[in-house]
Amino acid sequence: MSEPLSEVLPQVPSEVSSEFSSEPYGGSFARRAAELDAADELAGLRAQFVLDDAVYLDGNSLGALPRSVPGRVEDVVRRQWGALRIRSWDESGWWTAPERIGDRIAPLVGAAAGQIVVGDSTSVNVFKAVVGAVRLANGPGGEREADAGRPGPVRDEILVDATTFPTDGYIAASAARLTGCTLRPVAPDEVPDALSGRTAAVLLNHVDYRTGRLYDLPSLTAAVHAAGAVSVWDLCHSAGALPVGLDEHGVDLAVGCTYKYLNGGPGSPAYLYVRREHQHRFDSPLPGWNSHADPFGMTPDYAPAPGALRGRVGTPDILSMLALEAALEVWDDVSIEAVRAKSLALTDFFLECVDAYVPEGAVESVTPSVHAERGSQVALRCAGAGQVMRRLIERGVVGDFREPDVLRFGFTPLYVGFGDVERAAGVLARLL
């Protein structure tokens, strides 16, 4: 039998919150928080997570542990691996896990079944997607003749979000070298004007990881298509926090991680979305035996599997993949629209509490106030942000910071309440 969670998980020391949370910082805000929590239709989901006395506002980096996961992992290890052993590839469904779990993620990002495959890291999937996008954009006969004086693809430019998470930029640069393209960093707002007949692929982040700004996926995707290029979206900071609408808005390719708002655990596998109409032409730069049409034929020639399966590469990481599958069960009967509504309410309330509590001029929000431009985090510019965040964590408010001066607070509506928000703002105010 496994040990109780209370015995195997670290506990927050009792002194962490005694000084800062014995009384609410502002009575009227505390009363409003209690009223909002009482009316919250998602409040019951909090019980499905392993939480302590800390206010956990770092789900945009690592989601909290769903209670269903430890028992599932124990079953995978003890029974499926320990007893059934290799039979589990068939009897326990290991072989079909990448597409089965992809179908569980699909509704959360607005995709029909059969278009998402789970596996590999976000970085590896970005590489597959960007190279695949260049190949889709150029199509059969899309290479210039070498004797024309300019060998390479007809569409020979990749646009990448200039403010992107660094790895996306590194991967895009490598993809450009591999495909004979040039890489051009541009701000997302400048993409429509930067597009041309040379543009092959455009890699954008749905939500800016530093500021929490939400970019206009529908209009930017439409602009990319109008130029004849292929869109690739990074959904790491939006999937599980807000509606995405991949199918509705005609997104070509998308990638995302599962350890943030999807709560899959540290290093849990990422996913790749390939729009159905592109699947027969999607040419992955990483063909592997798991994406072969006949994987056990062991033939020397590669023939890609049909559908999104051609996004697979090697043997799936079964332990972390099935932990993710268990984590996704918390989404049963949960509406992503309800999650978005609570996310906006939480971030609105936090900004209101910060404005009321924190000394004027001590912090500056760099997260847009307009709902249509806000993800599910709030970023505050603050002098000495690194030290401030360390002191917040010592006092039971867990967020993170990004150089040089940004405090980041992520709001996961499945387990963050309005009382948490009010307490976090109060602790911040006392520190400043």
Domain boundaries, the chain: 5-66+334-431, 95-315
pLDDT at site 149: 52
Which stretches in the chain have pLDDT values below 50?
A: 1-24, 145-148
- pLDDT digit string, tens, across residues 112-127: 999 999 999 999 999 9
pLDDT at site 25: 61
pLDDT at site 344: 98
CATH architecture under which domain 5-66+334-431 falls: Alpha-Beta Complex (3.90)
* CATH 3.40.50.9100 holds for 95-315: no
Active site residues: 165, 234, 259-260, 408
pLDDT at site 26: 62
pLDDT at site 139: 87
pLDDT at site 297: 95
Peptide bond into 404 cis (omega under 30): yes
pLDDT at site 358: 96
Structure pTM? Answer: 0.92
